[in-house]
């Protein structure tokens, strides 16, 4: 079978590839990956090392003696600098320090003494997978490439896990094919010279959150400026979201400092209470050299638009399909205005703010300060006193929390205070999910609970890291979709160096009910004009979600006709068709359909792609 990735349209920003050891059996497998349009970088022996798709400005590959290094993605490293690093390399373990020093967002591949080492990003925006094919270990940046080479179908048990709302860590970090191993974002995979043995090695750990805000301002500003510079330093024209929110506004002002010409893009909301346009226009007044494009609010696609027309071949389901039309709608027009990359403020909510669950620990270490802050959070989020006390008294370890969640999959949705002060949002299944799917999901939760450890012992940092990694899995797929339009997207807040700078700040100074995003506000002082830093809220887009359910009833109904999930016995198609006819049903506007729609759209896309390339 022809791997699906060779049939997908590609563009700048959509680099993906497979990596092979320097052996004849690996070379034979590599040749089956080499389709028309693929690029190949060989080992000194002439056997393939890298096979895939990337553009010239996305890759820096060097050799020094018996060492080879390749950085593929967005990284401003020069070839001479990388060559010097390669010349000094004596052990693959030394690549860890290189990976932690480079700005941007990229895959890093190394070859030394017959061994190969491959990693993505700690954020999870760039992932790595591996499997054994014809007796040799193959590493790739997409799971479906490997699964298709093996002729595998997705595992129904993995699909059942994806129906959870939400799927908790670590369940969402597996591949859909058990034979394809996913490498956790903070780890690299090292393949031995024999081409078979593979091990994971950790190259990244989050910084301890101990830096005072006053000391963090300069490092945060420098990291974010460097991330924006990595995309703008070549000049030309770039575009930026300018929603008026602090995140996108910061990126836009930083881009304006660069050699690039900037086009700022604002989608006003349909909701009369939405103040995005007001704040965007305030910012634009201070950006005289920036072209400000304001789109027609009524022309903006709604949530759930064009679900039946999605033809992107993705390697996992993503709730990003719900907003795909909205995210991509303006990109062709921005490309027509000369933009070569579109910068977003996505990720700012996840790094410039942080989880209130840090106060679970802070209550025990700084009780007086924590109590004052918690009173503020109770007022801000309307947390009831009893629920707040119960959440703070909950000391269950992460494995026990997962196991308990497995027994409450049909319970009412958890309260906001239990989620805000807990490990995460407890997963739920809804009425359209079958008993068979529930059994599979429960088993996966219990299996994970037996061995899982949190991303960090502090539930606040665990929650932050989980939300970053959940978000990057969506943005990873949006980036692929955007590349097919001809205009790649970039999210500087999700670069590893930026994440590190924010996570290092003391949580009590990073999240407070009395100031909005205090770290970013302080870091952008002197960059973003003071009036633009005064905004303390953001638009919710709830009207677009509610209207989308109503206006797309026919498409949602068609989605569940001859449902792939129903054929697998995972959903009750009749119940989903009933809900499609009643878009005002309680709870639907709270996104509880997202995970199910994501799985169905993904299966339809794979089926359509296979059918369109089947040889008679």
Distance between CA 183 and CA 203 in Å, rounded?
12
Pure H helices in 493-572: 496-503, 507-510, 518-523, 542-551, 553-560, 564-567
Evaluate whether 86 touches 68 at the Cβ level (below 8 Å).
yes
- Provide the pLDDT for residue 191: 98
Residues of the chain with CATH 3.60.20.10: 4-163+173-202
- Provide the pLDDT for residue 330: 94
pLDDT band at 9, cuts 50/70/90?
A: very low
pLDDT (tens digit per residue) in 353-393: 889 999 999 999 999 999 999 999 999 999 999 999 999 99
pLDDT (tens digit per residue) in 74-93: 999 999 999 999 999 999 99
Q: Tell me, rounded to whole angstroms, the distance of Cα 584 from its chain centroid.
A: 30
pLDDT (tens digit per residue) in 460-506: 999 999 999 999 999 999 999 999 899 999 999 999 999 999 999 99
pLDDT band at 297, cuts 50/70/90?
A: confident
**Which residues of 454-499 form beta strands (DSSP E)?**
489-490
Residues of the chain with CATH 3.40.50.620: 213-301+311-352+463-539
Mean pLDDT of the chain: 93
pLDDT band at 286, cuts 50/70/90?
A: very high
SS3 339: strand
Q: Please name the fold of domain 213-301+311-352+463-539.
A: Rossmann fold (3.40.50)
pTM value is 0.95
- Name the CATH code of domain 4-163+173-202 (choices 3.20.20.80, 2.40.50.100, 3.60.20.10, 1.10.10.10): 3.60.20.10
Sheet of 59-64, strand order: 59-64, 67-74, 105-112, 115-119, 187-191, 198-202
- Provide the pLDDT for residue 612: 52
pLDDT band at 587, cuts 50/70/90?
A: confident
Distance between CA 403 and CA 408 in Å, rounded?
9
Evaluate whether 409 touches 429 at the Cβ level (below 8 Å).
yes
């Amino acid at each position: 079978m022809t791997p699906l990735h060779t049939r997908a349209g590609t563009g700048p920003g959509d680099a993906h590839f497979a990596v092979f050891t320097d052996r004849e059996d690996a070379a034979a497998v590599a040749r089956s990956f080499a389709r028309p349009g693929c690029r190949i970088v060989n080992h000194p022996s002439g056997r393939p090392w890298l096979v895939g798709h990337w553009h010239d400005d996305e890759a820096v590959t060097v050799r020094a003696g018996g060492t080879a290094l390749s950085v593929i993605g967005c990284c401003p490293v020069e070839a001479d600098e990388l060559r010097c690093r390669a010349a000094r390399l004596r052990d693959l373990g030394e690549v860890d320090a290189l990976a932690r020093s480079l700005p941007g967002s990229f895959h890093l591949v190394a070859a030394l003494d017959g061994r190969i080492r491959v990693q993505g990003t700690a954020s999870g925006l760039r992932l790595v997978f591996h499997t054994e094919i014809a007796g040799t270990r193959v590493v790739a940046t997409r799971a479906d490439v490997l699964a298709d080479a093996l002729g595998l179908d997705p595992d129904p048990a993995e699909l059942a896990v994806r129906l959870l709302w939400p799927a908790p860590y670590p369940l969402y970090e597996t591949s859909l094919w058990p034979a394809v191993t996913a490498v956790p974002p903070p780890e690299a995979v090292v393949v031995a010279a024999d081409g078979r043995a593979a091990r994971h090695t950790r190259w990244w750990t989050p910084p301890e959150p101990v830096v005072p805000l006053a000391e963090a301002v300069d490092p945060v500003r420098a990291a974010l400026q460097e991330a924006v510079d990595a995309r703008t330093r070549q000049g030309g024209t770039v575009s930026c979201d300018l929603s008026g929110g602090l995140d996108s506004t910061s990126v836009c002002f930083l881009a304006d400092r660069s050699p690039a010409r900037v086009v700022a893009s604002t989608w006003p909301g349909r909701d009369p209470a939405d103040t995005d346009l007001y704040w965007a226009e305030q910012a634009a007044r201070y950006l005289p050299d920036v072209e400000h494009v304001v789109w027609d609010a009524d022309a903006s696609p709604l949530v759930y638009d064009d679900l039946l027309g999605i033809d992107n071949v993705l390697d996992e389901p993503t709730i990003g399909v719900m907003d795909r039309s909205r995210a991509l709608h303006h990109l062709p027009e921005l490309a027509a205005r000369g933009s070569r990359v579109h910068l977003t403020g996505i990720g700012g909510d996840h790094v410039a703010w942080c989880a209130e669950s840090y106060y679970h620990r802070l209550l025990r270490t700084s009780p007086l300060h924590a109590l004052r802050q918690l009173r503020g959070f109770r007022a801000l989020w309307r947390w009831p006193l009893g629920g707040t006390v119960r959440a703070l008294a909950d000391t269950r370890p992460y494995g026990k929390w997962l196991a308990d969640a497995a027994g409450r999959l049909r319970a009412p949705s958890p309260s906001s205070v239990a989620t805000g002060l807990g490990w995460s949002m407890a997963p739920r299944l809804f009425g359209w999910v079958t008993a068979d799917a529930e059994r599979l999901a429960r088993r996966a939760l219990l299996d994970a609970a037996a061995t899982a450890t949190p991303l960090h012992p502090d539930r606040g940092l665990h929650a932050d890291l989980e939300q970053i990694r959940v978000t990057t899995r969506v943005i990873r797929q949006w980036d692929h979709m955007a590349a097919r339009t001809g205009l790649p997207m970039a999210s500087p807040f999700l670069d590893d160096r930026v994440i590190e700078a924010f996570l290092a700040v003391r949580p009590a100074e990073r999240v407070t009910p009395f100031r909005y995003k205090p770290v970013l506000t302080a870091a952008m002082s002197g960059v973003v004009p003071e009036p633009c830093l005064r905004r303390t809220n953001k638009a919710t887009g709830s009207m677009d979600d509610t209207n989308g359910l109503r206006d797309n009833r026919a498409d949602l109904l068609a989605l569940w006709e001859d449902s792939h999930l129903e054929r697998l016995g995972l959903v009750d198609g009749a119940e989903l068709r009933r809900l499609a006819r009643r878009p005002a049903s309680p709870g639907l506007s709270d996104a509880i359909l997202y995970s199910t729609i994501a799985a169905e759209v993904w299966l339809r896309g794979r089926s359509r792609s296979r059918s369109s390339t089947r040889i008679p």
